[in-house]
Amino acid sequence: MITLESYQQTYAYDTGNNLTNLSHQANSNTWQQTLTIHPNNNHGTETQQSTSDFDANGNLLTLNNIGTLHWHYNNTLNQLTKTDKSNTTEYYVYDYQGNRVRSVVESNNQVQSQRDYLPLLDISTNQAKQQTNTLHIGTHILSEN
């Protein structure tokens, strides 16, 4: 069963408005991610923690205490392999405009949940609980005569 809990995230930026620090605090898990920015441009650089924090396009490859990120050729997130949950991977699918249209969570080579993002509609399915949720997103317009 998934338990929700309150958390606080704090962000720090340099003078060029580049993200330099992300801190996550919750009762169950606290972690911090520090990003080093190259002094002559706004690209992330390698740190002492790892020699491969970013790919050639500047995409972050690891999030401390969360997992490993894999990117498509067009810099959209392809998958997240979680380190805190063994054998759990999230996959992401995009349309031709780069909008995320589907996400799938697999654990031990079995689909656990999936979410389809449609215009004004968000459908999520949890195979383990055999339940489907549909969220209608839109604007209600009221008029007075």
Within-domain flag for 125? yes
State the pLDDT at residue 66: 80
What's the structural domain count of the chain?
2
When pLDDT is averaged across residues 83-97 and rounded to a whole number, the result is 86
State whether 75 and 130 are in the same domain. yes
Residue 128 lies in a domain: yes
The domain containing residue 122 runs over which residues? 66-138
Mean pLDDT of the chain: 79
Mean pLDDT of the region 77-106: 88
pLDDT band of residue 1 (cuts 50, 70, 90) is: very low
∠118-119-121 over CA atoms, to 5°? 60
In this structure, is residue 71 part of a structural domain? yes
55 is a domain residue: no
pLDDT tens digits for range 28-66: 778 788 888 877 777 777 665 555 678 888 888 887 778
Residue 89 belongs to some domain of the structure:
yes
Say whether both 121 and 73 belong to one domain. Answer: yes
pLDDT of the residue at 63: 79
